[in-house]
Structure 1
Amino acid sequence: MGGNTACMPLQSRAIPVIITRPEPQANRFAQEIRRDLGNKAIPIISPLLQLRFSGNQPPDHRFGALVLTSEMGAQSALRLREEGVIIPDLAYCVGDRTAQVARQNGFLPVSASGDARDLVSLLLEHRKDAPFLHLHGQEARGDIVGKLTAQNVEAIGLVTYFQEPLCLTEEAKFTLSKDGEVFVPLFSPRTARIWAQEISKFKVLANLSHFALSPAVAEELKGLEPVHLEIADNPTQESIRHMMSQALNCA
């Protein structure tokens, strides 16, 4: 396993790519696949999570900066502001895409351009901006608040959205029931866990190639062994697309 994708024989037909991301990320990623891979790939959208806002509000406290670890976190920050909740403009973000959404929503983002560990390091460097308010889903990985608190940096977490599991679509199931190569990019541990559960429910004839955003995502697939699995060198969707492009194009 690793970011150096092994070459596969060139195919005479387009490779289905099952996209399990929530909307609207799923549709956007499908558009990026069409742009990058052209007629070599066919995106099949089958979200395994449906996101909804929690309605929770932060305690009456003066925070110095937000901590955002997902696009939905950035969207929930905007929702809080629209509801009249006073929150900081400054937002420390786990990655560049989250930072982009935060900027579009009127916040001033600083990106760690990495994963939760990179974000914690960035926050410790900027501890003067504490107290931090981490907006996250009901399954928050990386224990960001705990790690900051252990370093005597004040931080509070708030669940601002829920992630409800979905089943694979009939189109995705049909694709998996046929012989041939199928690509499966996976972006979160929870999605990978649901994916593993879903494909255990029926006979899969397709030859699956998994592309994981991080080792934490890959860990959720260990029950599928033997499994063709590549892990991105960098936790970005660009790295995922690059791995798939390599698998399609190298001789």
Structure 2
Amino acid sequence: MLLTRPEAASRRCAAEIAARFGEDLPVLIAPLMEIVALPAEIPPAREVIFTSQNAVAPFVARSPAAGRRAYCVGGKTAAAARRAGFETLEGQGDARGLLPLIRAQHRGGGLVHARGEEVAVPLADLLNSAEIETKEVVVYRQQACALEPAIRAQLARAGLVVAPLFSPRSADRLVQELGDWRGRIWVAAISATVAERAGPLRPERLEVAERPDLRGVLEALTRLIGPAKAG
């Protein structure tokens, strides 16, 4: 099992995988990105949007959570925001799915979308088009990390690599790092877009999560490796 998310996220994922599939499943943590906080200037707003838990800590480091409400893309992000001191409203795991929630619950005034440098859904544009004033602030970047030679050697020795992929960026990075690798690989993709971006890896088997969150990816992994482990 190859986990390529940033270190902390990969370790949380590894714990979930061990709980579901057992401790004997070999897991290799090899982050292809790390989270780097950026010195952003935070606009004043009573309500904040988080489409990634990675945005919470760098936001709070520059602007307090007290007295603010946060619209959060899913459970993990909402939990991080609550720990930071926000009142939270939780979406279903997809940025576009936050739109009806915000429309229904918005109390008036401007919103701030705290995000990374890259974003899959232009949420601020969509909200502004709906006449809900929303500003964006980029509070972190995902900085690329290369696969170490020792990791490459382990992958080369593996008979099969199973790769859960949680974002288009993750898929792109894995393609970049394994572009000349022709071993067997199975992919569990968080969305159809991620599955498409993983195409150059030529996965032998591919499962797409039915819901765009960790639980959905774990269920996709179960469809991939459940029968194999049972055998």
Instruction: Compute the TM-score of the two structures, normalised by the length of structure 1.
Output: 0.84
Displacement of 1:170: 3.1
Find the aligned partners of 1:88 and 1:213 in 2 and give their Cα distance: 33
Q: Secondary structure at the match of 1:133?
A: strand
Structure 2 CA distance for partners of 1:130 and 1:222, relative to 1, 3 Å: farther
Q: 1:245 aligns with which of 215, 222, 229?
A: 222
Name the residue aligned to 1:93: 72
Q: Which residue of 1 aligns with 2:22?
A: 38
Residue 47 of structure 1 aligns to which amino acid in structure 2? Answer: P
Instruction: Pick one of 122, 139, 152 that aligns with 2:101.
Output: 122
Aligned Cα root-mean-square deviation (Å): 1.9
* Identical amino acids, percent of aligned pairs: 29
Q: 1:32-181 to 2 correspondence within 5 Å? A: 32-59=16-43, 61=44, 63-81=45-63, 89-178=68-157, 180-181=159-160
Q: Is the 8 A contact 2:49 2:113 kept in 1?
A: yes
The C-alpha deviation readout for 1:133-171, integer Å capped at 9, x for no partner, is 000011122000000011111000000011111112334
More relative contact order, 1 or 2 (CA 8 Å, 6+ apart)? 1
* 1:191 correspondence with 2:191: no
Ranges in structure 2 where 5+ consecutive residues have no aligned partner: none
**Range moving further from structure 2, 237-246 or 156-165:** 237-246
Normalized against structure 2, the TM-score is what? Answer: 0.91
Q: Which runs of 4+ in 1 moved over 6 A?
A: none
Q: Measure how far apart 1:64 and its partner are.
A: 2.8
* Inter-CA distance 156–32: structure 2 relative to 1 (3 Å threshold): same
Unaligned runs of 5+ in 1: 1-16
Q: Offset of 1:198 from its aligned partner?
A: 0.8
Could you tell me which residue of structure 1 aligns to residue 188 of structure 2?
211
AA aligned opposite 1:157: E
Question: 2:207–2:223: 8 Å Cα contact kept in structure 1?
Answer: no
Partners of 1:225 and 1:161 lie apart in 2 by 31
SS at match of 1:172: helix
- Note the C-alpha offset of 1:86: 7.3
Could you tell me which amino acid in structure 2 is paired with residue 177 of structure 1? A
